[in-house]
Structures are given as structure tokens and as C-alpha cells.
Homo-oligomer: A and B are copies of this chain.
Amino acid sequence: MPSQPVKKETGVLPSTGLLPMEELRAALRAVGDQRYHHQHPFHLLMHEGKLTRGQLQAWALNRYYYQSVIPIKDAIILSRSDDPEFRRAWRKRIVDHDGDLHAKGGIEKWLKLAEATGLDGQRVASKQEVLPATRYAVNEYLNLVRTRPLLEAVASSLTELFSRDLIALRMDRMRQHYPWLSGGLDYFEARLDQAPEDAAFAIRYVYDSAKTRAEQERVIQSLRDKCDILWAQLDALYFAYVQPGWPPPGAFRIEN
């Protein structure tokens, strides 16, 4: 896989010393402020109540592909660590998404959300109508965790530093603007606690594992690259279903 080149802008000052935890956290937060998808126009429309039911269907159907790949992504990360303590901690993520005897997992909950938009669950789960561009962006996440150093693979999960605020806002706005979706919000409810727990573990791990400033810079770059992967998914939705509104051949089409 050709490696992602380091982009020009950085979220940190160009000094060379190892960043203390609070400065590393601030640098990561700066990346989130600039690049996390809370600012994407598709999300802004969503939160203003301006998306149609069909557009929300397209979002739920495409985002299902992302959800379906998350445990695969986490299993790749698990497979790359030779530390049983790390693996014990990380496997929680797979349980959260795939579920167990006692609880439904995130993928099943996301399907419930998709059904609340009015889509048939089997149709969504088949993943046949996912935008190719969604597929490519999500598969790039797998490429990232498979081919880059474990430190960077873990760092790519740090978008969870920002997800709680976005989810809390989204749940509030969904209940307000799309009350017919209210029965489908279990996925978000669970993530309100899971995401901050996962982010706390991951930031501690990258702080302890990055032994040089150059490694810390790669941690920050990895978060930037992950933000790009999330952003590109919304660009693809916007292009296909908002403006100009051109889904490619074979992809989901909104019924009028």
C-alpha cells in the first residue's frame, strides 16, 4: 500500500521535544477542531432538520457498511499486538460491536436505526447498494490498521475523543427534527459511554508507547488520516444524495 504522505499543516508547534500528555491531547483536539466530521455540511443539514427521510436512509445504509467493518478493523489491531493485557482491553470493542449472549451489539443496533428510517433490514445488511466511495474509504481504514505500525493503528481510533459530543447533539436534534427516528437511537445511547472509555484507553496507550516526538507526530497524522476517512464518507453522501445528487450506477437511489 503506498503510504499516506504527511500533509503540510500540523496541529502542533514545530518544536522537537516529547510532548507532555496535556500538550499531546491539545494537539489531537486541534486536529478534531479542524477535520472531524462534526463540521461537515451533511451533518449540519442533519442537525438543522433539513435532511429528507430518503437522505437519512442513504446515510444509514452507507454508514452501516462502516459499522459492519469496525469489528474486523479491531480484530486486525488485536492480531497485531503481542501483549495479552492490550488484547484483553481491546477485545471489549469487538464485543461492543458484535454483541454477546447478554446484549445486542452495535451493528445490530445500527440496523435498528436503519429500519427506523423505513428501510428493510435485510436490504441494508446485504450491503449491495452501498456507494463505492463509501466502500473505498472504509476499506482504507482497514488498509491503515493492517499496514501501518500498531501505534498508528491505535491512534486512528482517537476520533472517539470527539464522538461523545457529536452523538449527544445528534440524539437531541434527531428527537427534535425527526421524531419518527426516536425508536432507533439505541446505538447512540450505548456509544455515549463506550466511546469515552475507549478513547481514554487509546490516548493513554499512544502516550505511553510513543517514545519520540517523531512518533507522536505520526500519532497526530494518523488521527488526521482517520478524520479524512470519515469526512470522505460524508462528501460521497452529499455528492450522491444532496448536490448535485448523482448516485453512481448500482448504488441506492432515493424513492420519491
Q: Measuring CB to CB, which residues of chain A are less than 8 angstroms from any residue of chain B?
A: 1-2, 4-5, 7-9, 34-35, 41, 68-69, 72, 126-128, 132-133, 135-137, 139-140, 142-143, 224, 228-229, 231-232, 235-236, 238-240, 243-244, 246, 248-250
When distances are taken between beta carbons in the complex, the residues of chain B under 8 Å from A249 are 9, 34-35, 228, 231
Knowing that A1-B142, A132-B231, A228-B249 touch, tell me 6 more A-B residue pairs with CB under 8 angstroms. A2-B72, A34-B249, A136-B229, A235-B248, A238-B244, A243-B244
**A-B CB contact pairs (8 Å), 15 listed:** A1-B139, A2-B72, A2-B139, A2-B142, A9-B249, A9-B250, A34-B249, A41-B244, A133-B137, A136-B140, A136-B232, A224-B250, A231-B249, A235-B246, A239-B239
CB-defined contacts of A228 to chain B, threshold 8 Å: 132, 248-250
Nearest-CB residue, chain B, relative to A245: B243
Asked if A132 contacts B232 (CB within 8 A), the reply is yes
Docked Cα-Cα span, A80 to B140, in Å, equals: 22
Chain B residues in 8 Å Cβ range of A136: 133, 136-137, 139-140, 229, 232
Residues of chain B with a CB closer than 8 A to A250's CB: 7-9, 224, 228
The answer for the CA separation of A249 and B142 in the assembled complex, in Å, is 22
Contact status A231-B243, CB under 8 Å: no
Question: For residue A39, which residue of chain B has the nearest CB?
Answer: B249
Contacts of A41 in B (CB 8 A): 244, 246
Q: Assess whether B140 is in contact with A139, with CB atoms less than 8 Å apart.
A: yes
Which residue of chain B has its CB nearest to the CB of A227?
A: B249
